[in-house]
Amino acid sequence: MLHIIDARTAEPVPAAPVRRGPTRVHAHVPARDTAGLRVLLVADLLIRALELDGTPAWAVLSGPVGEEDGARLRADAAALGIRPFEAAAGSGPGTGQVVHVLGEGHAAPDGTALAVAPVDPAAPDLADPDALRLALLSRHHHARVELGATALDEARDTLARRRRAVARWARQPSRPVPGEVRDRLRGAWEDDLDAPGVLRVLRRVEEDPDLPDGARFETCAYADRFLGLHLARDVGAPQ
């Protein structure tokens, strides 16, 4: 079962109701900046993990103040591969659990709250949105992130290399995701949305000499339902 660390108690709590009712994921973003995008990204990961677990999720957004900033934030989020969030006022189901996703240090509303650590610099570099997404996913959401040029270059290189590998593996006969690998992936994202843990599993899959290429491909495709990095984007493209 998916658990997250509640910012109010610092204890793990279930992110889904016991009876499999809907979970309302409420992102609180006061400003259009990199920290706000990271809050939305973590909310997006939470929704992806809930849906992989079979739990319906409803995404809503509070802030930022101002119609223009709000529109720009939504455009930035779409570029980053984050699904659309509805305005919080008057939306969402009336039953189920609510999980608030907000920046570290902000007052948590009543209910379960998931805190997201800050990011530097404040202005997001969206020249390569997928590289920015990977750079953010490479650190746990409880850890502060420094997004310098080196971090983004490393993310860009890693993403290009992995996409080339996935495209190469896709040419081989398909093989199922090994049960042990599937369990490790789910164990990572169900443990407080541990995206770096998911990425570590993919590195081991890439380096395992005994794993068929078809299984490597299916593993990356499965993990990408959580990561949202378009790992299979170059399948079928000239190598």
**pLDDT score of 94:** 55
Q: What percent of the chain has pLDDT over 90?
A: 82
By CB atoms closer than 10 A (0-12, 13-18, 19+), residue 179 is: exposed
**What is the torsion angle, in degrees rounded to the nearest 10, for the CA atoms of residue 21, residue 56, residue 73 and residue 141?**
80
pLDDT digit string, tens, across residues 79-128: 999 999 998 765 555 557 899 999 999 987 888 999 999 999 999 999 99
Distance (Å, whole) CA 33 – CA 122 = 5
CATH class in words for 153-227: mainly alpha
**pLDDT score of 68:** 84
**pLDDT score of 20:** 67
Strand segments, DSSP code E, in 63-118 are 86-87, 97-103, 112-116
**pLDDT score of 22:** 87
pLDDT digit string, tens, across residues 6-55: 999 999 999 987 776 789 999 999 889 999 999 999 999 999 999 999 99
**pLDDT score of 153:** 97
CATH 1.20.120 domain locations along the chain? 153-227
Q: Which two tokens stand for residue 212?
A: 């068929």
pLDDT digit string, tens, across residues 123-180: 999 999 999 999 999 999 999 999 999 999 999 999 999 999 999 999 999 999 999 9
Q: Which two tokens stand for residue 37?
A: 């995008």
**pLDDT score of 111:** 83
Would you give the end-to-end CA distance of the chain in angstroms?
40
pLDDT digit string, tens, across residues 197-222: 999 999 999 999 999 999 999 999 99
**pLDDT score of 198:** 98
pLDDT digit string, tens, across residues 46-73: 999 999 999 999 999 998 767 788 889 9
